[in-house]
Structure 1
């Protein structure tokens, strides 16, 4: 089969991918050398895309109340129920909740149906959780949601600031581009501003470990040192008036760093001819996130470091098409193509769509939308390609709202998700590799997602499902598309309607594409119109925006600390975020065994001082609690954390863990301007969680664990693998289970441990390893025994001990997921003389593909050097 040039479905970097399926059905992927976002490089998640394309776990057929039905019946049922609710309670009783995983064509169709024909603006998106504060910041400053920069700017700057952005893990391909630029131009300075010392700090000249949520103080204080007289911007005098109240000493105290460190950062910014500031969730996910964004933009406006190469405020998008969703009006407080709820825009949209039902007022934003569902005001919600039962704050309350909602429709790829459990009607959607459409990345670059796999079962494109639903609701004429090309061209035409530069987003130059031209569309940055037929790399080059008379605006920002504040009962601040090898709620990455090896279960990062204070030990378990909920995670003691601050990943959910949902702890506090939740700061307490038994279960079939057992599921191909911790009699339970099946048992037990193997006709059925603390099990050896059973008594005894036969060394925790290189192999190579990350790469290949593990390689090298300098030249312990 011919290779397809498509686009990665993960983060907002928007990497080009070349994908191909061979005659055996095996999908291979590589980076697209021609795509300007990545030039052939892929991160470990992108490189593993071929391993996510199987049909195991897919939703393949429509369902009504759990029963498989035809498309006709499912659509008739959904349309009839929606129409009944609208007729009885009005359009405001209906809502859509969409996703940055949708293609632009899907998003456009959903927004058109909701705002244009149902007549309410209650369509919001999970982009509300990651990018809406950045949107507010840009719109207030420029008059448009317009990112002014390009990736090429990171290679042309003198000072690169990364704030609230662990790009090494969350945007790894862009990070590698930055690292390469630093290597090529060592004089370029990089400053990382983050309460945590993350992997991104590996290439930094300076790390400012500020107090959580204090970013705005740092930026407002810097503004006071700039020349107010040179600022011909609306709002400049007010912004400077506030800034003058923030002395160097006040900033240092507010941010929890030294005045010398603040002064050096200020000197770096003021003296650098070109400055870029890259920011993402650490800025946006705040009760004052919009103001933080404007505090950053103010600096670039006041210094003139904007609209030219190597300069500008650059918000890194979290999802592959969060920007595409913003373009089509996917947020509840905007209309299509960057239009607003203003009479002229409403009238223009009505003329174009041929509708008199255009929504006249903004709709409910994500958190308030699910609150309204919980109160019974919204009686029907259609969730498309996202998992709000996991990703929204106070997720237990979201679940209660969904459980009580009269009509929940879910369009999904996965057969089992936390949100799908509440669905009355489920629609099977196309997945990556089957979809056909466009996405827009962080630098405004529109790229094609092209299909290379056939649609499985009855799965259909999201835009098609929306159009079919519109027809059931009586709007056939406006939704008569036969191909995504037609949807895209309609969207492009709307972007240029009566525009003439009044709106930043304009791709009218693509409105006349033929089907063949659409299929062949190369990546291009908007605007794409008569003035910019080939697109535009940068905006604001003439220092004119899209507000009245083109004037730009500075916003007066009074720095605020997080609403979450510690107290005697909840003395620590919990930060949440992504880890390197997982994506969102793991419906795709969680099923890939090698992506579960780096951090295989929820992990709580704790500073050594806090670990000692609260009796926490490395690799032990901890219970973290807030007033709203609790979770259990494995302890990682690290000086990368500030004292008093914790970090836990946001990915785990009820399909992969019991009590692993971090958003069950997070309060639904939002920014008043953007509606974005304050997911980065939650007041919590922590305590050691000591279970009588910990262990691992491997089995051919899934086993049901007791309700009091805490467990974490691991991807294991065709088999099942669960880690567990419990106070119950685990050894009695597993023995009874196996005897009830009539299996032959082989077991070993002693003080504080119990191991069991269950056999049937010479085939391994189940392996159980339990102990008072987590046992050391060679997982690959155990899983191999299910397909290649041990043949000698010696091999069986080794397996009973959780080991491979002979002296085979345990690989240890996976550091390099690209090539499956474990920590112990790396430590051994260091002992044998590898003294650099490059040398380790040459010997083991680790760090030579996506580069995401290079900071960890350097950390292991530094640890080895420290142990050598300590005086006793003893071999490093292989863990």
Structure 2
């Protein structure tokens, strides 16, 4: 059924991952999971899903779920656990004041969860020490938009990407990080080939496959580039003088732009001129920006440099025009709207405005309100480290991995007097440090709303019962509020009641001149809330608006926009002979944050199964780092060991590593251990794209590959573990080879008595062994070599639990084709399968590869890689 009408037993909900906010239709499969398909009627995705969304139904197993409260490692009941939380928080407040406690929450919470957390902390505990992991991804956008517009307002909509004649992607690998938006953009460009796409990124990413121009600027130099553009706008006659009557600060912004070196962005003059010329002569321009802009010590200035260019030309708030921030988390926007940041109040009200504080305090009938902003994430964990925060509650996030200077943050949490963690699992780096663990419901089990990057509010709906004793986050926090004595304020019985209170508050906020207004959704009741369709705010009593600011009305006290004079400055951490490389961090296509959900889906582990470091070939050669070996990366704050990926996607002197791996999946791959706690002075957002590191080959005496039907517990200097269809696989390495590999292997697999087939050659340092049960089914296998192990990994793991066919060969038999490493995660299409289609002459385009193999025909995220394979084949053919 491909139309928008759901099956009788399908439930409409919203994806759990990025800020695109895709609608999905789910149906229980009878085995505790869900079948999932894209919702053709949802305005964000129109039925499209990415590889992660496509695999959502495979991430719901209960094997690692936390199903009851735990205190000091022992299961207990809810009353005992929450009474302890309430008592310890109350004691700390009584002895040390309200600022001795803190909440650290998450953009993966639903809006109703966020609202209760904000109300509890700011209105009743009386501290603003509540911050969110969204601080790590979009705080600079919040600060930049507030400086320019007066409020944190997104001017446009997703449709603008399709209506634009020029889309500029700044610091955004849209193809991998927001795949459905990339698909929409690619479809629009295919329908209108005259549309132009420019990618601005130091690294050549998959998104560049769609680009007409790639500007590989120097790390951190975005302000310089957009200041150059602002000068060109002025000199080239592209100013909108009528619109500028609604804008303050143009002259100062232009002076700042002119005061800098024209070529400070490190780009050739002809490329700069070509970009400026294209921008000036194309009226319908959308500038999309993401973490490459935000995660910077000058992130707020970067945001304002972009906005300045749109204000100067009046290209804002009109169809196909405007600056557009795309957020990383499913409810980063909802958290911004509800005051989840330490420096905000609900409904885009300002915590430092006495009138705003009084409005919220009166509405909540709260005993107190903080007088100033609370601690932003980096400062918050520093106060945990120094002991000023005595009680810490972490909700639905993993800061021991994801925060900058992650080792120091991990140690700070471990040293805190009292730590509470609410999560789905006890098996995260952060949860292992908690005194109290609280089992929360997750996606598929909870009800509420989320807001996506273009202000669309969508429902998440439960399709499965809450397992064990799990509870929604809002219910957990409301119960603690009641136990702390505030019964009436937290007497919520459902998310619909919370949403109704929130909507009513938004109407009061809007009356003060704020942008956020969903008062038109007040009074929905349980039935109306249950039926709520995707709705873009504002939703006033009289209706709403699709776009902001085209009319020249803004939310500053003067009602005018502000252009901000900004000056380019380099990243704060500087390279040196000791740390000569700049480290860029980011995401990969098939994983999400710290992998607590995505790592459960075997198909999502096949494409890139271990942490890696992209290094330019000339840098690798100079350091003696060979392809697929291991490399040690060291910074002033930490050390990692990663797989080397030699590629010219990065420039010389720059390296890139993904941020997903943890102590659970690859202990030496915790990349944020290398990132210092340097922040933007305005937004408090960490600089995660410009750490400085030194590189050296990892001195491995042996490399190994292991596969097992049961979970592996490696004990060696390097390992990376992932789930596969019938078990587990792991990459291994060590500095010293054991005397007896079979003894070590039996310990690794916990198979002391299984039958073993083995081949070993001490002279070459190779060993192969397979462990089988009485029916000749493969239980486990280990391959060892002095160099990175070469074998068909996917073939070997496919034999787990099966009758083994020559398991020590490591290769398929002659009559069994080897599909090769997976390229298309959705349909499991391998590199060799695609290569065979190309070599046979059947496939000369991405579409033809899809027709022959299926690759790229579902979510489309692998199409850039397919295009690279085609281009490589064409180069070989031309050379011959």
For the 8 Å contact 1:168–1:175, the answer to whether it is kept is yes
The equivalent position to 1:689 in structure 2, one of 694, 698, 704, is: 698
> SS state of the match for residue 273, structure 1?
coil
The aligned counterpart of 1:877 is none
The aligned counterpart of 2:392 is 381
Tell me which moved more, 22-31 or 418-427.
22-31
Tell me which moved more, 454-463 or 351-360.
351-360
> SS state of the match for residue 207, structure 2?
helix
The aligned counterpart of 2:372 is 361
The equivalent position to 2:248 in structure 1, one of 219, 234, 237, is: 234
> SS state of the match for residue 748, structure 1?
strand
> SS state of the match for residue 218, structure 1?
helix
For the 8 Å contact 1:709–1:728, the answer to whether it is kept is no
The equivalent position to 1:771 in structure 2, one of 777, 781, 785, is: 785
Tell me which moved more, 7-16 or 798-807.
798-807
Q: Note closer, same or farther for the CA distance 1:376–1:718 as it changes in structure 2 (3 Å cut).
A: farther
The aligned counterpart of 1:70 is 77
Q: Counterparts of 1:354-753 in structure 2 under 5 Å? A: 354-497=365-508, 499-500=510-511, 502-531=513-542, 533=543, 535-706=544-715, 708-717=716-725, 719-730=727-738, 732-736=740-744, 738=746, 741-750=752-761, 751-753=764-766
Q: Note closer, same or farther for the CA distance 1:390–1:734 as it changes in structure 2 (3 Å cut).
A: farther
The aligned counterpart of 1:814 is 822
Q: Counterparts of 1:319-358 in structure 2 under 5 Å? A: 319-340=329-350, 341-358=352-369
> SS state of the match for residue 34, structure 1?
coil
> SS state of the match for residue 618, structure 1?
coil
Distance across 1 between alignment mates of 2:240 and 2:476: 56
Structure 2 length-normalised TM: 0.96
The aligned counterpart of 2:192 is 185
For the 8 Å contact 2:230–2:309, the answer to whether it is kept is yes
Runs of 5+ unmatched residues, structure 2: 1-7
Q: Does 1:788 align with 2:812?
A: no
> SS state of the match for residue 605, structure 1?
strand
The aligned counterpart of 1:874 is none
The structural deviation recorded for 1:548 is 1.1
> SS state of the match for residue 108, structure 2?
coil
The structural deviation recorded for 1:631 is 1.0
The aligned counterpart of 1:875 is none
Distance across 1 between alignment mates of 2:488 and 2:32: 40
Tell me which moved more, 513-522 or 603-612.
603-612
The equivalent position to 2:43 in structure 1, one of 13, 28, 36, is: 36
Q: Does 1:755 align with 2:768?
A: yes
> SS state of the match for residue 337, structure 1?
helix
The structural deviation recorded for 1:784 is 4.2
Distance across 1 between alignment mates of 2:797 and 2:672: 33
Q: Note closer, same or farther for the CA distance 1:764–1:185 as it changes in structure 2 (3 Å cut).
A: closer
After superposition, the CA RMSD in angstroms is 1.5
> SS state of the match for residue 94, structure 2?
helix
Distance across 2 between alignment mates of 1:529 and 1:294: 29
Q: Counterparts of 1:791-806 in structure 2 under 5 Å? A: 795=805, 798-806=806-814
Q: Counterparts of 1:80-91 in structure 2 under 5 Å? A: 80-91=87-98
Distance across 2 between alignment mates of 1:362 and 1:606: 41
Deviations along 1:71-116, whole A, 9 cap, x unmatched? 1111111111111111111110000000000000000000000000
The structural deviation recorded for 1:651 is 0.5
For the 8 Å contact 1:595–1:817, the answer to whether it is kept is yes
> SS state of the match for residue 698, structure 1?
strand
The equivalent position to 1:7 in structure 2, one of 14, 18, 35, is: 14
Distance across 2 between alignment mates of 1:730 and 1:414: 35
The structural deviation recorded for 1:39 is 0.1
> SS state of the match for residue 782, structure 1?
helix
The structural deviation recorded for 1:733 is 4.7
> SS state of the match for residue 190, structure 1?
strand
Distance across 1 between alignment mates of 2:712 and 2:185: 46
Q: Note closer, same or farther for the CA distance 1:274–1:781 as it changes in structure 2 (3 Å cut).
A: closer
For the 8 Å contact 1:693–1:730, the answer to whether it is kept is no
Number of residue pairs aligned between Structure 1 and Structure 2: 858
Distance across 1 between alignment mates of 2:688 and 2:615: 18
